[in-house]
Chains A and B, each alone.
Chain A
């Protein structure tokens, strides 16, 4: 990433800086109208800042902002040291290490800070990665590359398709595991999508993210990546999963099943939780010990992945809330919905004043599914009248499937069949561990 000569400056300030031949990184002396003198390195300005201030980094490291209106004289008194980064030599290839593919899709899972300007620069090649997370080269032989670079909130079905295809390709090329770095906000939707799109996996595909970007000493980027690489290349698994911190300490990285995981906190490093299930495996960052905690498909490189990566976006996730306007359901139907996942209350309820809209939807062959907004637990619509009424209308309860997985699955199922009956049937059929008939008490 190159920094433009006067990044972030515009308007009057930009003109003044240009006139003085100043560049980001130049050493500048400003003399104010009252005779004060400020010296420092010219620093880029952030994109939404005004155009009346100049930012200098003083010798002691502090940045200060000085108003152009107050500036009498602006001189360039020296050129700062150009920021440079010498890429380290590629890590020595250890013979016999598992081959691992890292696919980057965005987020700052690995980056380094330019201490002169404070800009964060992504480290994306294998060599870059090795320089910021040197531990990796002793775990696996890594082949890293960028698929795209998106904030996770911008990621959707097209990206899921791209990721599934890329993972399948890497596996076909002989990878012993695939790690996909991804922004955390929608990481669990992608995990669910890939779980459905990639069947019959011979090796694990683990998604990984960082709750704290790597420009912060509290970053979990390096430790999550290390854990993901270790688990993907060595753990005896063959599923799509999410590898993140188990708790607040940099100690254990756990792999959650892709269809059973959810981001449950805005900022904690252990934001990702297995819902209605337990994590599949854990990696001890101190000892390197891997522990499998649940029976699941074992790796078997003779298997060939089956790719089904189409998703139909005519699927809706609607969260019920008291006072909800039933028109929301009607609009989904008239927008061409082929299925609706309701996130109901408790055991799976919505208010009686929605019944008419639900009835209308079902009448038009739009399947309506029920999940619970309590996040944990299983829906049971036979307990209360409202539930029985909804069942009677034809709403399909989705057992212990979480709402986010349900909507992704609905998109996936809808891409495979036109029949409402078939959609209902497939939604209830376990495909990637997303739905089970038994939920253990420890899974909360």
Chain B
């Protein structure tokens, strides 16, 4: 086990007031979606029973684990999933809170607080996807649902909110089904071949299945009419949930359900014939799957199971978060049975000496850090806090150490407020590398460009990630003019405004100054311009 990773995990545990284990045992957690090439993810409990205080409320931290990250899914086809392996095996710290977070907003705040602690170590990676929140959401009479892959903090409360909404909607459906007197046992695994009926359909899905020697099968869902299209959360209907299950278990491309038909090139005649063949009555619904015989049957079996659950309870699931906070079915929730010991890695004993060493070197917490930063660099408390919470604390310190002629408060403002406003204007500021930031401020410090130009330089770099700051300055024509350049420009302006100068004498200074500045703004220090212009005008007078 990587010793530095374990140190970081132990440090985080201490900051979360969790008690480190005497001996850390690495487990294999079976993950067979392909995201781990070994088929398991190695994970170990590092500490238990901590707590943090968020907004005056104590939040228990049940467990801190050190894991290896898995491959990142980048795409899929019907029969394969594509993963990038660049993240595989990277140490990952998982912090699990107790089930005490009561509302979505609190969830967001707790996640933020934990994120701050992680970042205080300066050892965790920053940026989208490097801190992910898995949410466990349950409501009264509902089920424990694990939502994976919430990448942005802002989304935590939204995702929790949607999950609560989804579970409430499912409970409503359950009650309605019960009112319609449906029992789980009424939903039967009786799959009816409807290939004949649908073979005339122009539906691409049906045709492609049949062309490959597949079939179309249907199953009746008694008293489900109208409920399949019931929206649980935006774009997720009960029918969608069934479809995802069928895709997972049956490897099918999708399903057709009666609430969405006629559509997809299946007309009302065919719809009626299928219903008739299934023996559907008024309130009954049905689902059709077109694929190979095996896949169709597996798919419909999954649909039946989901339908039975709709009558009985909300099923425990692992769901994946969409960028808008809604979720889709990912896989069933695994239990403790998928864990077994990793025999290739011997248990690691956490000695007293190690704990003492880490304890003595505990990083300072953000509040403390902000205070210290404020005093050291004369930053306002607000600016210092923003900086500590930003991605740029580390580079800030490097910049102010190098660019001595630039005020730290100016650097801090650019790195926090200004970059954020660029981001709001859709400028991809995350493209700007630390080196490029340093270059930009160094140029200001050296007097190669005006400080007013920094933001333009950074903006240019955001769109030219391979460029350097010098290049940006030249491309944007922001290089400071030399004294002789300035004198030339001033001479030219003075000459072309001879009349103005002769008529007004030294009083022309203000107006000429405006004209010159119009040409050199951002590339010259106004004080220097005034001085040179005054000298020049005096020469003219003489």
Residues of A within 8 A of B (CB): 36, 38, 43, 46, 48-50, 53, 55, 58-67, 70, 113, 115, 118, 215-218
- Contact call A67/B340, Cβ cutoff below 8 A: no
Can you spell out 24 A-B residue pairs with CB atoms less than 8 angstroms apart?
A: A36-B48, A36-B49, A46-B343, A48-B346, A49-B346, A55-B23, A55-B347, A60-B63, A61-B335, A61-B339, A62-B43, A63-B25, A63-B27, A63-B341, A64-B24, A64-B48, A65-B21, A65-B23, A65-B25, A67-B23, A70-B22, A118-B341, A216-B38, A218-B38
Does the CB pair A218–B37 fall under 8 Å?
A: yes
Question: Knowing that A62-B45, A113-B340 are A-B contacts, what are 7 other residue pairs whose CB atoms are under 8 Å apart, sorted by A's residue number?
Answer: A63-B27, A115-B337, A115-B340, A216-B40, A217-B30, A217-B32, A218-B38
* Chain A CB within 8 A of B349 CB: yes
8 Å CB contacts to A: which residues of B14-33? Answer: 19, 21-25, 27-30, 32
B63 partner residues in chain A, CB cutoff 8 A: 60, 62
Q: A64–B23 contact, CB under 8 A?
A: yes
User: Contacts A49-B347, A63-B341, A65-B349: A216 and B23 contacting too (C-beta < 8 A)?
Assistant: no
Which A residues lie within 8 Å of B44 (CB)? Answer: 62
B65 on interface, CB distance cutoff 8 Å: yes
Interface-central residue, A43, A61, A70, A216, by most chain B CB under 10 Å: A61
Q: Which residues of B contact A65 (CB under 8 A)?
A: 21-25, 347, 349
Residues facing A in B350-368 (CB within 8 A) are: none
By a CB distance below 8 angstroms, the chain B residues around A70 are 22
- Contact A53/B22 with A61-B336, A62-B45 known, Cβ cut-off 8 Å: yes
Q: How far is the CB of B65 from chain A (nearest CB, A)?
A: 7
A36–B19 touching, CB < 8 Å:
yes
Known: A46-B346, A64-B23. A59 touches B39 (CB 8 A): no
Among B24, B37, B63, B341: residue with most chain A CB under 10 A: B341
**Which residues from B are CB-within-8-Å of A115?**
337, 340
Q: Shortest CB–CB separation between residue B42 and chain A, in angstroms?
A: 11
Report the bound CA distance from A206 to B49 in whole Å. Answer: 55
Question: B338 near A: Cβ within 8 Å?
Answer: yes
By Cβ-Cβ distance, the 8 closest A-B pairs, closest first, are A217-B39, A65-B23, A61-B336, A61-B339, A118-B341, A67-B22, A63-B25, A118-B340
Instruction: Give the distance in Å from the alpha carbon of A215 to the alpha carbon of B22 in the complex.
Output: 27
Chain A residues within 8 Å of B22, by CB: 53, 65-67, 70
CA A52 to CA B487, docked complex, whole Å: 83
Q: Which residues of A contact B30 (CB under 8 A)?
A: 217
Question: When the two chains form their complex, are residues B25 and A62 in contact, meaning their CB atoms are under 8 A apart?
Answer: yes
Closest residue of B by beta carbon distance from A248 = B37
Contact A61 B27 (CB under 8 A): yes
Please, how many angstroms separate the alpha-carbon atoms of A70 and B20 in the complex?
12
Q: How far is the CB of B132 from chain A (nearest CB, A)?
A: 20
Could you say which residues of chain A place their CB within 8 Å of the CB of B343? 46, 118, 215
Which of B335, B340, B347: most chain A Cβ within 10 A? Answer: B340
Please give the distance in Å from A5's CB to the nearest CB on chain B.
Answer: 19
Question: Looking across the interface, which residue of chain A has its beta carbon closest to that of B43?
Answer: A62
> In the complex the two chains form, is B340's CB within 8 Å of A66's CB?
no
Q: How far, in whole Å, are A55 and B45 apart by their CA atoms in the complex?
A: 12
Kindly report which residue of chain B lies nearest to residue A55, judged by CB atoms: B25
User: Which residues from B are CB-within-8-Å of A50?
Assistant: 349
Which residues of chain B come closer than 8 Å to A38, judged between CB atoms? Answer: 48
* List of A residues within 8 angstroms of B335 by Cβ: 61
Task: Report the Cα distance A215→B23, complex, angstroms.
Answer: 23
Number of interface residues of B (CB under 8 A): 33
Distance of A189 from chain B, by nearest CB (Å): 25
Q: C-beta contact mask, B446-478 vs A, less than 8 Å → 1, else 0?
A: 000000000000000000000000000000000
**In the complex, which of the residues A58, A115, A217 has the most CB atoms of chain B within 10 Å of its own CB atom?**
A217
Does A53 lie within 8 Å of B349, measured CB to CB?
A: yes
CA distance A23 to B45 in the complex (A): 23
Which of B21, B39, B49, B338 has a CB less than 8 Å from the CB of A218?
Answer: B39
Interface of chain B residues 67 through 95 with chain A (CB within 8 A): none
- Contact residues of B between 287 and 345, Cβ < 8 Å to A: 335-341, 343
Q: How far is the CB of A158 from chain B (nearest CB, A)?
A: 30
Q: How far is the CA of A43 from the CA of B44 in the complex (A)?
A: 15
- A53 to chain B: which residues have CB within 8 Å? 22-23, 347, 349
CA distance A234 to B63 in the complex (A): 54
B338, A61: Cβ atoms closer than 8 Å? yes
In Å, the complex CA distance between A218 and B36 comes to: 10
Q: Are B336 and A60 in contact (CB under 8 A)?
A: yes
Q: Give the docked Cα–Cα distance between A118 and B40 (Å).
A: 14
Residue of A nearest to B21 (CB): A64
| Minimum Cβ distance to chain B for residue A3 (Å) | 13
CB distance from B144 to the nearest CB of A (A): 13
Instruction: Report yes or no: B23 in contact with A62, Cβ–Cβ below 8 A.
Output: no
**A215 to B349 alpha-carbon distance, docked (Å):** 25
Residues of B close to A36: CB separation below 8 A: 19, 48-49
Checking A60, A61, A66 against B21 with a beta-carbon cut-off of 8 angstroms, the contacting residue is: A66
| Residues of chain A lying within 8 A (CB to CB) of residue B38 | 216-218
Q: For the complex, give the distance between the alpha carbons of A53 and B346 in Å.
A: 13
Contact between A62 and B39, CB atoms less than 8 A apart? no
| Nearest chain A CB to B92 CB, angstrom units | 15
Which B residue's beta carbon lies closest to that of A114? Answer: B340
Bound together, the chains give a CA A49 to CA B32 distance in angstroms of 31
Assembled-state Cα–Cα distance A31/B183 (Å): 47
A41 to nearest B CB, angstroms?
10
A50–B337 CA distance with the chains assembled, in angstroms: 27
> Considering only CB atoms, which chain A residue lies closest to B31 in the complex?
A217
| Contact call B49/A62, Cβ cutoff below 8 A | no
- Name the residue on A nearest B37 (C-beta): A218
A216–B45 touching, CB < 8 Å = no
Instruction: Give the distance in Å from the alpha carbon of A7 to the alpha carbon of B306 in the complex.
Output: 44
Contacts of B346 in A (CB 8 A): 46, 48-49
Chain B residue nearest to A66 (CB atoms) is B22
The answer to whether B23 touches A59 (Cβ under 8 A) is: no
Q: Give the distance in Å from the alpha carbon of A211 to the alpha carbon of B309 in the complex.
A: 42
List of A residues within 8 angstroms of B45 by Cβ = 58, 62-64
Measured CA separation A160–B203 after assembly (Å): 63
Q: Which residues in B have their C-beta under 8 angstroms from that of A63? A: 25, 27, 45, 341
Return the CB mask of B137-168 against A: 1 if under 8 Å, else 0.
00000000000000000000000000000000
- Residues of the B chain whose Cβ atoms lie less than 8 Å from the Cβ of A62: 25, 27, 43-45, 63, 65, 339
Cα-based distance from A73 to B341 in the complex (angstroms): 26
Known: A59-B336, A62-B45, A115-B337. A217 touches B23 (CB 8 A): no
The one of B25, B29, B40, B336 in contact with A64, judged by C-beta atoms closer than 8 angstroms, is B25
Chain A nearest CB, measured from B88 CB (Å): 13
**Chain A residues with CB below 8 A from B29, complex form:** 61
User: Bound state CA distance, A61 and B32, in angstroms?
Assistant: 17
Nearest CB of B to A10, in Å: 15
Return A269 CB to nearest CB of chain B, in Å: 11
Q: Which of A61, A66, A218 contacts B23 (CB 8 A)?
A: A66
Report how far A56 CA is from B30 CA in the complex, Å.
Answer: 19
B348, closest chain A residue (CB): A65
Interfacial chain A residues near B337, Cβ < 8 Å: 61, 115
Task: Tell me which of A53, A59, A64, A70 has the highest count of chain B C-beta atoms within 10 A of its own C-beta.
Answer: A64
Collect the chain B residues with CB atoms within 8 Å of residue A118's CB. Answer: 340-341, 343
Bound-complex Cα distance A430 to B392 (A): 71
CA distance A53 to B21 in the complex (A): 11
Shortest B341–chain A CB gap in Å is 4
Complex alpha-carbon distance, A215 and B342, angstroms = 10
Task: List chain B residues, Cβ under 8 A from A43.
Answer: 341
Q: Which single residue of chain A is at the shortest CB-CB distance from B342?
A: A118
Smallest CB gap from B344: residue in A:
A216
Q: Which residues from B are CB-within-8-Å of A113?
A: 340
B336 contacts across to A, CB distance below 8 A: 59-61
**A48, closest chain B residue (CB):** B346
- Of residues 480 through 494 on chain B, the ones whose CB sits less than 8 Å from some CB of chain A are none
Q: How far is the CA of A63 from the CA of B346 in the complex (A)?
A: 12
